[in-house]
């Protein structure tokens, strides 16, 4: 490919990629692009099209402006706030402490411990005194002798 043709192709590529604004072009190639533009009607049309595109893009740019405090207020008002884990845990622990302090748990615990110890001792200590392997003997004992 001839050097003239290569510089024309390079100028076209840069115009399409970077737009019509000269400040966007690389400093080392700016002079070469301008000389190609002076010689080629095709590149002049391409630059006009790129200028139009650049104008459209500049007009369509939107600047985001957010007020952080307003956004935070809107979010906090739109969602129900749950108490923090520490607050909920503190409430539960206070209830448990109230139950322990007032002693309403002592009677049921004492009864269940006594019952559990009695059942455990009864099952460990019980030794059958007779041979109850026959079902008849067991049934007579349960029903009672007549």
pTM over 0.85: no
- Per the document, the length of the chain is 146
**Angle at Cα 37 formed by Cα 9 and Cα 35, nearest 5°?**
95
Instruction: Check residue 140 and give its pLDDT.
Output: 57
Q: Which tokens in the block code for residue 89? A: 């845990």
pLDDT in tens, 106-123: 777 778 888 888 888 888
């Amino acid at each position: 490919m001839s050097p003239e043709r290569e510089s024309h192709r390079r100028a076209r590529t840069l115009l399409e990629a970077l737009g019509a604004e000269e400040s966007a072009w690389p400093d080392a190639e700016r002079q070469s692009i301008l000389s190609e533009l002076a010689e080629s009607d095709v590149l002049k049309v391409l630059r006009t099209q790129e200028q139009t595109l650049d104008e459209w893009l500049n007009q369509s740019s939107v600047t985001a402006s957010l007020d952080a405090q307003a956004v935070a207020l809107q979010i906090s008002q739109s969602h129900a706030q749950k108490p923090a884990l520490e607050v909920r845990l503190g409430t539960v622990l206070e209830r448990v402490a109230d139950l322990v302090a007032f002693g309403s748990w002592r009677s049921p615990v004492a009864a269940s411990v006594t019952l559990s110890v009695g059942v455990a001792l009864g099952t460990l200590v019980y030794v059958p005194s007779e041979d109850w392997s026959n079902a008849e003997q067991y049934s007579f004992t349960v029903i009672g002798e007549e």
